[in-house]
Structure 1
Amino acid sequence: MNIFLLGATPSISSEPGEDPLFKLAKTGGNTGNQVIAYGLLSRIAYESVAWDYRVDPKEVHERYDMIVIPAANFLFPQFDFGGMAHYIEQANLPVTIVGLGAQSNNYNPQIDLMPGTERFVRVIAERATSIGVRGPYTQEVLAKRGVHNVTVTGCPSYYMGGSDGMNLRQLSFDEVKRISINASRDVIGHSFDKQKMKRLVLDIYQTGITHGADFVAQSEHAEIRLAEQHPSSTDDEMKEIGSFLSDVVPHEAVREWVKKHLKVFFDVPQWLDKIEQYDFVFGTRFHGCMVALQRGVPATVICHDTRTEDMCKFLGMPHVSILELSGIDLQDLYERAGATNVAQRYGELYPQYMEFLTKNGLTLRS
């Protein structure tokens, strides 16, 4: 089977010395997007796969058998997927879509979407055997629009380990030495509680600095430029981070931490390999924590909106809502990771996911 990807892509090409923000743009503005596509492709067999959107959709129709969409939080009021809907219509091929998510700061299924995104929903509903969605909330959002050929799958990144599943390391908290954190200063505005979200993000950074933890950036421009130590980075990026943390961490402490502990990964296999060096990962980034779980590293997601919480609940991932936290307690977060039986839930969901892929006309990887 020849597959054409729309949506997230598993890798990017870049030139030596390329501005990291140019590379970030190729990922769709978030390095976690690559984990979605990488995870989806890891479970299916194909003869060829491509994702050059400059190709005329009529050529796509001639050269490929199916459009496959590794999806993210597409159902968000500020996103317009009319262009993708038009491309799919022009290509006129069957569609498989996995991981479609609705993003909101509450669980009201009657969210407003742009006309282009409403059109996108209609187009995929017509062409997909079943739409794979992130969680029950997204299923409700689609049901309100009369779309019922839907299967709750969670995110395809969850299944990249195949039949081996997830087997987390068992360390006592006293043995936890190497920590990685993740958080985002750019999602505060659409969280369950803006003020609480800001306090917790500040607390995540502060905890990371106190414990000498590494910070893995996914969409944060200043952090990514500094992590790559690109010539285009200036003291402005350092000032931006220092200003954000000015009320909780002295500027000099921020500066010293930034020099040693900021990381970014534009290559998924490298990210997976590097994450193994840590004993615990936590933060607000679903895919930053997912990468850790895939390599047996305990991780806890701090959920800040429906796009993260809906998935975590369905997939049985260690998580806690920002609404439940008054601050960051490292031991509490670590114990939450150990208290969740991820392996058991994975064992339940994996065969269902394989069946979903098969019903949508995909061939499973042996």
Structure 2
Amino acid sequence: MCADVMEKTEQSSKDESKTLPKMPRSVPRVALLWKTLNLGLYSNSEFGELYKAVGHNTGNLAFVYAIASQITNPVQLFPWHVSAAKLKESADIVVIPCANQLGRHTELGDFADRLSDAGLPVVAIGLGAQAEDYTKDVVTSPGTLRWAQVIARLSVSSLPNIYTRGAYTTSQLDKLGVQGSLPGGCPSYFTNQDVKLGQKIYENWTKNPLPRSITVAGGHESWVKTREIEHQLIGMMMDPLVPGQYVVQSMGDMIKISRGEFDSIEEKTLTNIRLHTVPHYSLEEFKVWCRTYARSFYDVPSWMDTLRRHDLTIGSRYHGVALALQAERMGLTITIDSRTRELCENTSVPHISSSELTAPITRSSLKKVIRFDPSTYDAHRATAAKHYVQFLENNMLKPAPYLQKIAESS
């Protein structure tokens, strides 16, 4: 970071340290920063409206749904651009469902200003750092760094108020001089309320000697290094007797293929998506393939209900795979960077690096790759829930009773 930016950041931190957050009431009203949990009759929504509502990635729905289910305080939803005045008027504490905001791809200076002006205690849940791998340090914009600093300052106490995706993100915050984070994972780890979730996953996984119907958690057409993997997964998914599905999450054009929005996709991009999925098909055949297999989901219950119809969900989208496990089915994430690996390691999601998943990929080879011990999974989940419950309570958030039960099952 250049000297003038460091000077401005240090001065900003000094100025902000003069103002401490207001202490909330005994059961604080929560402002959850997400526009809506119910997209209504989204079958008739314009794509742009729908894409914006899911935060440009349907995977966001997984952790937002989880957080909203895990807090029993009075909760009201607000969009990220909510004014400081509205927050002060309506809430006592701000909860931010986070993704991989810590990276060079974000500029959150305006957001930092609004949080600082509101002066309310802030809790960030699920923050992740985005870098190529664990050997690289994350690079942030000045605005995003200040955003993280403001959140850490606006803690209800001296205890951590940032729940990160894992030790890597916490270490990166420490290197940036942002103290007050707890390495945890993703709150979607606790979507399923059963204390013996691992046992149910294992029972379903071992019913058949090999996985039959497969869901592919589809990647992105620009991820060339995973393209050959994607081709093989799609080939297995298209079994004529036990057909699966190709579930897309992001970016916009990938989601559009699941909704038949072909005319609004640039010709070059549409070609690249075809090459990434079924390169041996003509353009018209590709469109038929999309209508047959490509899917996207806009609420978590329906997404999970579909995943439970398939024996295995596999692909490079963490949340698409993680939801399969919460639906009591097996999943395997193909990790492509630090954010997906960190999430898998902290939520016991089976995973393998894209560089390690070599051809040929078959049902037999996948069965051998996936190592899943139900007792270890349930024990880890219970311990993680215990830390998560303590984090929520330390920040004056009331955990849902089912979350307490998972925490007490260790």
Kept in 1, the 8 Å contact 2:100–2:128? The answer is yes
Aligned pair partner of 1:333 in 366, 383, 389:
366
The code of the aligned residue for 1:226 comes to I
Kept in 2, the 8 Å contact 1:72–1:99? The answer is yes
1:208-243 CA-to-partner distances (Å, cap 9, x unmatched) read 345742011111434422322358667958645323
1:186-219 CA-to-partner distances (Å, cap 9, x unmatched) read 562xxxxxx5333323433344345742011111
Aligned pair partner of 2:65 in 13, 38, 49:
38
Task: Using the TM superposition, give the Cα deviation of residue 54 of structure 1 relative to its aligned residue in structure 2, in angstroms.
Answer: 5.2
Residue 380 of structure 2 is matched in structure 1 by 345
1:113-124 aligned within 5 A: 113-124=140-151
The code of the aligned residue for 1:119 comes to R
The code of the aligned residue for 1:329 comes to T
CA distance 1:70–1:224, change in 2 (3 Å): same
Task: Using the TM superposition, give the Cα deviation of residue 184 of structure 1 relative to its aligned residue in structure 2, in angstroms.
Answer: 1.4
CA distance 1:163–1:90, change in 2 (3 Å): farther
Q: Distance in 2 between matches of 1:53 and 1:215?
A: 30
Kept in 2, the 8 Å contact 1:24–1:219? The answer is no
Residue 154 of structure 1 is matched in structure 2 by 185
CA distance 1:156–1:284, change in 2 (3 Å): same
Kept in 2, the 8 Å contact 1:8–1:69? The answer is no
Aligned pair partner of 2:257 in 222, 226, 230:
226
Aligned pair partner of 1:111 in 114, 138, 154:
138
Aligned pair partner of 2:49 in 4, 14, 22:
22
Task: Using the TM superposition, give the Cα deviation of residue 357 of structure 1 relative to its aligned residue in structure 2, in angstroms.
Answer: 1.0
CA distance 1:135–1:10, change in 2 (3 Å): farther
Aligned pair partner of 1:139 in 164, 170, 173:
170
Task: Using the TM superposition, give the Cα deviation of residue 19 of structure 1 relative to its aligned residue in structure 2, in angstroms.
Answer: 2.4
- What is the count of residue pairs matched by the alignment? 359
Deviation larger for 140-149 or 33-42: 140-149
Q: Distance in 2 between matches of 1:321 and 1:213?
A: 23
Kept in 2, the 8 Å contact 1:8–1:37? The answer is no
Residue 86 of structure 2 is matched in structure 1 by 59
Residue 183 of structure 1 is matched in structure 2 by 218
Q: Distance in 1 between matches of 2:133 and 2:81?
A: 37
Kept in 1, the 8 Å contact 2:152–2:178? The answer is yes
SS in 2 for 1:99: strand
Structure 2: segments with no counterpart, 5+ residues: 1-27, 402-410
Aligned pair partner of 2:233 in 201, 204, 209:
204
Task: Using the TM superposition, give the Cα deviation of residue 39 of structure 1 relative to its aligned residue in structure 2, in angstroms.
Answer: 0.7
Matched, 1:90 2:117: yes
Task: Using the TM superposition, give the Cα deviation of residue 303 of structure 1 relative to its aligned residue in structure 2, in angstroms.
Answer: 0.7
Residue 191 of structure 1 is matched in structure 2 by none
1:270-289 aligned within 5 A: 270-289=302-321
CA distance 1:235–1:57, change in 2 (3 Å): closer
Kept in 2, the 8 Å contact 1:183–1:204? The answer is no
1:233-279 CA-to-partner distances (Å, cap 9, x unmatched) read 679586453233465x3437645432311111111121122222111
The code of the aligned residue for 2:229 comes to L
Structure 1: segments with no counterpart, 5+ residues: 189-194
The code of the aligned residue for 2:319 comes to H
Normalised TM-score (structure 2) = 0.79
Q: Distance in 2 between matches of 1:4 and 1:181?
A: 35
Task: Using the TM superposition, give the Cα deviation of residue 11 of structure 1 relative to its aligned residue in structure 2, in angstroms.
Answer: 4.2
Task: Using the TM superposition, give the Cα deviation of residue 138 of structure 1 relative to its aligned residue in structure 2, in angstroms.
Answer: 0.4
Kept in 1, the 8 Å contact 2:81–2:111? The answer is no
Task: Using the TM superposition, give the Cα deviation of residue 149 of structure 1 relative to its aligned residue in structure 2, in angstroms.
Answer: 1.6
CA distance 1:220–1:142, change in 2 (3 Å): closer
